[in-house]
Amino acid sequence: MLRKTLVVAKHEFLATVKTKGFILTLILPLVILLPVIFTSGYVMQIATESPRNIGFVDETEILQPDGIFIRFEDIRGAENALLNDEINSFFTIPSDYLETGRVFLYGTGGFFSSAPTDLVEAFLIDNILRYSDVDETLGDRIRCPAEVEQITLNEKGEVEEKQEVLFLIPYAVAILMMLSIMTTSGYLMQGIVAEKENKTVEILLSSLSPEKLLTGKLIGFGSAGLLQICVWICLGMLVVSVTSLAAVFQEIQISLLMILAVPYFILGYLLFAGSMACVAAPASTMKDAQQGAMVFTMLGILPMMLLGVIIAAPDSVIARVLTYIPYTAPATTLMRITLTGIPVYEIAASLLILTISVIVVIKLSARIFRSAILMTGKKIRIRDIPGYLKR
Amino acid sequence: MPDNTNNKRMFTIWQTAAAVIAGAQVEKTDEPVLDVLHLTKSFGTETILDDLSFRIESGEIFGLLGPNGAGKTTMIRIILDIIKSDHGSVKMFGKVFDERFKERIGYLPEERGLYQKITVFECLKYFANLKNVKKPDDRIDFWLERVGLIEYKKRRVSDLSKGMQQKIQLASAFIHDPDLLILDEPFSGLDPVNTKIVKDIMLDLKRDGKTIILSTHQMDQAERMCDRILMINHGEKVLYGTLDQIKAGYRKSPVMVVEYEGDLKPVDGVTGVEDYGRYAELGLEIGTDPQDVLKNLMESVKLRRFEMKSPSLNEIFIEVANVA
């Protein structure tokens, strides 16, 4: 009899992944990211190529040619070299440079041929330090006065070794996970209401029980959600591998985040999908179902709305409470995970509450589904729910 | 000795063939296909089915009649285990209902519906897979051929007319070769040609030993096709039995139908007249001899045709529904 559940799951999975909306959600990140990848690659290529030879005309006689920096005796010679594409740009140092600091940079005006001021400044500092005969160590400090390392203190005054950029990773994972959960649950809700509207549900129920039908739908739509997540992760890894983000990922402990993301995704999906089924089964139209599902949607995005609070105080009462509320637990826990060292008991308690909630919601949704799925023309009312459960 | 061996071999082959043929037929038992006992169902304070009991025998077309809201659909859904009854039991094929029995039931619900965005083939294959059909492609081709829609196999369901979609839905009810068919208003929305196709299919299935529950408001179809009838109203059994039993048990004054020429005058023993000028229906007093009425009529008009009319199922339906 599990076979029929799998037949439903396969049908719902294929029906979902063939929809334009689903394909769009898969392709959209690709459409956005691919140009970024190729553009960044091209820019990097140009950037590495662009600082070719740089000419200079020095009236102070302080500067000495070095590497890419080529001396010219007069401006005319430098101009000819620039126009003949022998140099990328050139600058002139007037005789009153030490008093005024004025430097004239010449370029051809192309998009990637702007004068490399950073390189010129570094070249000038090196030459001035040599000209001044400053101690080498002191010279290094003048060249680079501060190697900044940011230190974060927790509420107890203890040092937490975190880097700002790493915070982006769990947020991205949490947001993508919730996006997938909400999208996939939405597909389930649409599927249930559509089968009520096109009257196919009664034919299906003449072949298998309402519980098996609902289970098949949960598996089918859940698999589509997993596929979505997998595609996004693959795309993310592609982006990371070809961009400078690779260095960031090497530093973060991806494993814990990813290990926890799996159970939170599965449990979160079952919770939201079960809840959506509860409102979709008695609904007569998609509009009714969406209105009923609003409360779950709001709960789902609550951690994103309170992002500022969670970042500012990841161990605050609000953040902890959100970790224990089943509908906000998946996103909140994943966001807190790299902000603070969440105690293991908090994660365990959060997962336990979530698991119990999933069991309760799935049982409730199965009963509501059985008694309400064939009802039509009625608005969803909370006071009717006990009646659905009794039938 | 060799002859004897050959005879034994032939006998064994004959036995095997007979067993295969018997296996291909519907399992005939003395047990009723459906045995419903004291079925009761309420929604809130409203009683939908009230202590309903009946049996459906193997190989019969069983008419399930009743006005709108009588409880027919609720009863069908309980039989199919889509919803649960408050009290009572449903035995199917002699056993307590088991979900595996769903593979032996074909169901055409009153509210028609198919997946609109997929092809006819994909839609039927999904339904066939849910019924555990072994070679779904062959069965799909067979039934599409049978309902005259084989050329629409690869078309999207939404491209088909309403009548065509109805036939596709009928095909989906038959596709797994069920032993029990529950057809709720199968002729609704069909033109006379397609009505005949569906009627012929139903009669063929009956000849094959299938049992059919026909729920309909078309009394003429029920009267012509059904072996036995159950009529419910407000969840209660009001008529149950063969058509003859129902008509015999239905006490009403006899009706004489006449076609005539002339001026129809009042006649003794006639309680009411529905006169259409050349055709009239005369309600006779109980105990009146129709011969006396005919003699009196012939004094005033020239009779072209006459007959005693028994009450139609439609008339019985209307009267029982109104009384209840």
Q: Is B16 exposed, middle or buried (0-12, 13-18, 19+ CB in 10 A)?
A: exposed
Single-letter code of the amino acid located at B17: A
Q: Which residues of chain A have a CB within 8 Å of the CB of B84?
A: 391
How are strands ordered across the β-sheet holding B34-43? B46-56, B34-43, B87-92, B95-96
User: Packing angle between helix B136-146 and helix B120-130, nearest 10 degrees?
Assistant: 120
How are strands ordered across the β-sheet holding A69-71? A69-71, A54-58, A89-93, A104-106
Radius of gyration from C-alpha coordinates of chain B: 25
Query: What per-residue confidence (pLDDT) applies to A217?
Result: 92
- B179: pLDDT confidence band, cut at 50, 70 and 90? very high
Q: Which residues of chain A have a CB within 8 Å of the CB of B102?
A: 206-208
Picking from A11, A199, A208, the nearest residue to B112 by CB comes out as: A199
The closest of B49, B110, B58 to B83, measured between CA atoms, is B49
Distance, in Å, from the CA atom of B139 to the CA atom of B176, rounded to the nearest integer, reads 8
- A146: pLDDT confidence band, cut at 50, 70 and 90? confident
What percentage of chain B reaches a pLDDT higher than 70? 89
Higher-confidence position of B226 and B30: B226
Q: Is B217 exposed, middle or buried (0-12, 13-18, 19+ CB in 10 A)?
A: middle
Q: What average pLDDT does the segment A55-67 reach? A: 86
Chain B residue with minimal CA distance to A371? B83
Query: What per-residue confidence (pLDDT) applies to A54?
Result: 87
Q: Tell me the CATH class for B34-248.
A: alpha beta
Give the residue carrying structure tokens 């047990």: B31
Distance, in Å, from the CA atom of A272 to the CA atom of A185, rounded to the nearest integer, reads 6
The closest of B149, B78, B156, B77 to B114, measured between CA atoms, is B156
Domains of chain A: 2-38+162-390 (no CATH), 50-148 (3.40.190)
The closest of B28, B36, B91 to B60, measured between CA atoms, is B28
Q: How far apart are the first and last CA of chain A?
A: 24
Distance, in Å, from the CA atom of B205 to the CA atom of B227, rounded to the nearest integer, reads 14
The number of helix segments (H) and strand segments (E) in chain A equals 17, 6
User: Packing angle between helix A20-49 and helix A210-242, nearest 10 degrees?
Assistant: 10
Query: What per-residue confidence (pLDDT) applies to A98?
Result: 85
Pairing of the two strands B211-215 and B180-184: parallel
Q: Which residues of chain A have a CB within 8 Å of the CB of B44?
A: 387
B43 in contact with A at a CB cutoff of 8 Å?
A: yes
Query: What per-residue confidence (pLDDT) applies to B8?
Result: 46
Kindly determine whether residue B82 and residue A371, on different chains, have CB atoms separated by under 8 Å: no
Kindly determine whether residue A209 and residue B99, on different chains, have CB atoms separated by under 8 Å: yes
Higher-confidence position of B152 and B28: B152
Per the structure block, which two tokens stand in for A135?
A: 């101690």
Is the predicted pLDDT of residue A6 greater than 90, yes or no? yes
What lies within 8 Å, CB to CB, of A277 at 6+ separation is: A188, A189, A192, A214, A217, A218, A365, A368, A369
Query: What per-residue confidence (pLDDT) applies to B14?
Result: 43
Give the residue carrying structure tokens 């662009």: A50
CA distance B148 to chain A (A): 22
The closest of A183, A181, A224 to A12, measured between CA atoms, is A224
Q: Quick check: A299 and A330 in contact, CB under 8 A?
A: no
Kindly determine whether residue A202 and residue B84, on different chains, have CB atoms separated by under 8 Å: no
B122 in contact with A at a CB cutoff of 8 Å?
A: no
Query: What per-residue confidence (pLDDT) applies to B112?
Result: 82
Phi and psi at B213, nearest 5°, equal -100, 120
Chain A segment 348-377 residues within 8 A of B by beta carbon are 370-371, 374
Kindly determine whether residue A199 and residue B99, on different chains, have CB atoms separated by under 8 Å: no
Helix, strand, coil share of chain A (percent; to 5): 70, 5, 25
Highest mean pLDDT among A13-27, A157-171, B158-172, B301-315: B158-172
Query: What per-residue confidence (pLDDT) applies to B24?
Result: 41
CA distance A203 to chain B (A): 7
The closest of B123, B115, B129, B133 to B153, measured between CA atoms, is B123
Query: What per-residue confidence (pLDDT) applies to A9?
Result: 95
Is the predicted pLDDT of residue B3 greater than 60, yes or no? no
pLDDT in tens, B224-250: 899 999 999 888 888 899 988 888 777
Is the predicted pLDDT of residue B138 greater than 80, yes or no? yes
Is the predicted pLDDT of residue B27 greater than 60, yes or no? no
Q: What average pLDDT does the segment B12-38 reach? A: 58
- Angle in degrees, CA B135, B137, B139, rounded to 5: 70
Higher-confidence position of B135 and A35: B135
Distance, in Å, from the CA atom of A200 to the CA atom of A280, rounded to the nearest integer, reads 15
The closest of A224, A199, A216 to B130, measured between CA atoms, is A216
Is the predicted pLDDT of residue A292 greater than 80, yes or no? yes
Interface test with B, best of A3, A200, A378 (most B CBs within 10 A): A200
The mean of the pLDDT values for chain B is 85
Chain CA centroid to CA A163, Å? 17
Q: Quick check: A224 and A187 in contact, CB under 8 A?
A: yes
Distance, in Å, from the CA atom of A387 to the CA atom of A206, rounded to the nearest integer, reads 23
Is the predicted pLDDT of residue B18 greater than 50, yes or no? no
Query: What per-residue confidence (pLDDT) applies to A387?
Result: 66
Q: What average pLDDT does the segment A322-333 reach? A: 92
CA distances from A378 to A201, A288, A373 (A): 17, 9, 11
Distance, in Å, from the CA atom of B2 to the CA atom of A293, rounded to the nearest integer, reads 81
Query: What per-residue confidence (pLDDT) applies to A161?
Result: 54
Higher-confidence position of A253 and B321: B321
Distance, in Å, from the CA atom of B319 to the CA atom of B158, rounded to the nearest integer, reads 41
pLDDT in tens, A95-107: 888 888 888 988 8
Q: Which residues of chain B have a CB within 8 Å of the CB of A202?
A: 77, 82, 107, 109, 111, 113
Other C-beta atoms closer than 10 Å to the C-beta of B299 total 8
Q: Which residues of chain A have a CB within 8 Å of the CB of B100?
A: 1
pLDDT in tens, A117-127: 788 888 889 88
Distance, in Å, from the CA atom of B14 to the CA atom of B19, rounded to the nearest integer, reads 8
Per the structure block, which two tokens stand in for A165?
A: 């950029």
The mean of the pLDDT values for chain A is 81
**Residue A379, CB half-sphere, CA atoms under 13 Å: how many?**
4
The closest of A243, A250, A208, A225 to A25, measured between CA atoms, is A225
- Angle in degrees, CA A7, A12, A17, rounded to 5: 130
Kindly determine whether residue B132 and residue A198, on different chains, have CB atoms separated by under 8 Å: no
- Give the range among A19-33, A307-321, B70-84 with minimum mean pLDDT: A19-33
Q: Is A5 exposed, middle or buried (0-12, 13-18, 19+ CB in 10 A)?
A: buried
Q: Which residues of chain A have a CB within 8 Å of the CB of B111?
A: 199, 202
Distance, in Å, from the CA atom of B76 to the CA atom of B80, rounded to the nearest integer, reads 6
Other C-beta atoms closer than 10 Å to the C-beta of A193 total 23
Return the domain boundaries, chain B: 34-248, 255-323
Pairing of the two strands A54-58 and A159-160: unpaired
ipTM of the complex: 0.76
Distance, in Å, from the CA atom of B120 to the CA atom of B168, rounded to the nearest integer, reads 8
Chain A residue with minimal CA distance to B172? A203
